[in-house]
């Protein structure tokens, strides 16, 4: 488990700050979920041939089947999922959903998806970790789990998309929905063409409005949680909201450099949530 913990810490992920204050069993489960999501993401982002990537994603679908069929998992992360996570009664369909959603960048990178496909993507890549995390934290209200994981996941993923628009374009990806590009007067869906279009700021601003509303709704939903359960969720929300606020305050026409938070600033935001009453 120490290897996974080191990987999470070394990655610099904001999730580390919300995980580190959890009790041992829940912390190990969260480290494992992060390692799984990171591994799946790395497969798609890696240098392997597309056919090999597709085979690996299919192998992971089978690995999830093995875990839930109580067969011996074939991978170290699979064994950690079985050991550290199954006690929390995590739904199989959520693991399958994140594999399918991350696979939406295969065989070709996503470029200007429809709004429907965009929402499906966000629910998978960001909503699933939230859904699983809420269960590990101890939330049992299914309606609240679905609503909060979808709403906050959407806000966090949009923040990532707005923050990484330049870097994504350089590897052939463009996650801003086609409808928003067209509304801003952008007809091209070529990522490198779009990021130099002066109207990109308008499209980013429209996407930011959705994120702002989702953050607001998420904070209201978090108030329905037990205070102790709410703390790690608030830690994550506060850190990402700070990234979002930096971009909003400097203007959506600015796409680089990416907003940066020091470790001390992240710790400060995390502690503010830790003392939430």
Q: List beta partners, residue 174.
A: 111
Mean pLDDT across the stretch 248-273? 85
- pLDDT at position 274 is 59
Contact yes or no for 31/19 (Cβ under 8 A): yes
Reply yes or no on whether the pLDDT at 87 is more than 90.
Answer: yes
CA nearest to 158, candidates 248, 85, 235, 88:
248
28 band by pLDDT with thresholds 50, 70 and 90: very high
- Average confidence (pLDDT) over 143-167: 98
pLDDT of residue 2: 47
Among 148-162, 208-222, 229-243, the least confident range: 229-243
Give the model's pLDDT for residue 1.
Answer: 47
The tokens for 135 are 């269960």
What's the whole-number average pLDDT of the chain?
91
Q: Is the pLDDT of residue 216 over 90?
A: yes
Q: Is the pLDDT of residue 6 over 60?
A: no
What average pLDDT does this structure show over 162-190? Answer: 97
Residue 89 has pLDDT above 90, yes or no: yes
- State the pLDDT confidence band at 263, using cuts at 50, 70 and 90: confident
Q: What is the pLDDT of residue 257?
A: 94
CB 232 within 8 A of CB 22: yes
Predicted pLDDT at 276: 59
Helical H segments across the chain, by residue range? 2-11, 15-19, 24-45, 50-68, 76-84, 92-102, 115-122, 128-137, 142-163, 165-170, 178-183, 191-194, 200-222, 227-250, 263-274
The pLDDT, as a whole number, for residue 7 is 47
């Amino acid at each position: 488990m120490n290897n996974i913990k080191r990987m999470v810490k070394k990655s610099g992920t904001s999730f580390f700050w919300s995980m580190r204050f959890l009790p041992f069993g829940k912390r190990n489960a969260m480290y494992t979920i992060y390692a799984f999501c990171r591994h799946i993401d790395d497969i798609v982002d890696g240098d392997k041939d597309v056919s090999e990537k597709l085979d690996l994603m299919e192998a992971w679908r089978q690995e999830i089947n093995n875990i839930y069929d109580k067969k011996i998992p074939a991978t170290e992360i699979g064994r950690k999922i079985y050991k550290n996570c199954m006690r929390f009664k995590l739904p199989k369909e959520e693991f399958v959903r994140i594999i399918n959603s991350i696979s939406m960048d295969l065989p070709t990178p996503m470029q200007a998806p429809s709004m429907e496909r965009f929402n499906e993507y966000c629910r998978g890549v960001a909503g699933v970790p939230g859904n699983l995390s809420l269960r590990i934290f101890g939330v049992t209200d299914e309606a609240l789990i679905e609503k909060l994981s979808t709403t906050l996941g959407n806000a966090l993923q949009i923040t990532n998309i707005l923050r990484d628009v330049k870097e994504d374009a350089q590897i052939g990806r463009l996650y801003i929905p086609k409808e928003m590009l067209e509304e801003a007067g952008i007809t091209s869906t070529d990522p490198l063409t779009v990021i130099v279009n002066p109207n990109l700021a308008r499209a980013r601003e429209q996407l930011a409005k959705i994120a702002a509303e989702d953050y607001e709704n998420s904070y209201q939903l978090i108030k329905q949680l037990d205070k102790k359960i709410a703390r790690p969720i608030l830690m994550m929300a506060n850190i990402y909201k700070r990234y979002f606020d930096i971009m909003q305050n400097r203007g959506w026409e600015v796409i680089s450099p990416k907003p940066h938070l020091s470790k001390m600033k992240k710790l400060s935001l995390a502690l503010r949530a830790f003392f939430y009453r």
